[in-house]
Structure 1
Amino acid sequence: MAKVEIGLDAELVVEVMVLAGVGSPQDAVELVLRDYIARGHRTETRTGSADRSLREADARPQEPQG
């Protein structure tokens, strides 16, 4: 897997480390990102059918108005 280096505010990282209960800044940020992605997938699973039908309705050609 490719690695990416980024700079983050130290206070933000320490806060995440405390909330996540981990001692490594990298582990803390990785946990937050994995949780964010998993939460997005869960949301898509719960709302996917409604979103899909809305997208399909928006994609249909509309009658000319006027």
Structure 2
Amino acid sequence: MAKVTVSLEAELVVEAMVLAGVGNPQDAVELVVRDYIERGHRTEARAAARDEALREIDDRPRQTEG
């Protein structure tokens, strides 16, 4: 896979290292980015499931009253 070099503020990278629990800046930033992407996919999946459930409810035949 292709690699990209990005410059970040040292304070930001140190914070990522602490939160990720790793001592290597490259690994810390990679873990944070991967986690962010995975969360996005999970959010998309939940939204799709919710939309599908709403579609199923909307597609049910309606009973007329009165």
The CA RMSD measured in Å over matched residues stands at 1.7
Q: Percent identity?
A: 71
Deviation at 1:19, TM superposition (A): 0.9
Partner of 1:38: 38
Equivalent residue number for residue 48 of structure 1: 48
For each residue in 1:2-44, what CA deviation from the matched residue of structure 2 results, as whole angstroms up to 9, or x when unmatched?
0000100000000110111000000000000100110011001
* Structure 1 portions without partners, runs of 5+: 54-66
* Aligned partner letter, 2:25: P
TM-score, scaled relative to structure 1:
0.72
| SS of equivalent to 1:36 | helix
Unmatched runs of 5 consecutive residues or more in structure 2 = 55-66
For residue 13 of structure 1, what is the aligned residue in structure 2? 13
Measured in 2, the distance between the counterparts of 1:6 and 1:16 equals 14
Determine which structure has more spread, i.e. the larger CA radius of gyration. Answer: 2
The number of residue pairs the alignment matches comes to 52
Q: Which runs of 4+ in 1 moved over 6 A?
A: none
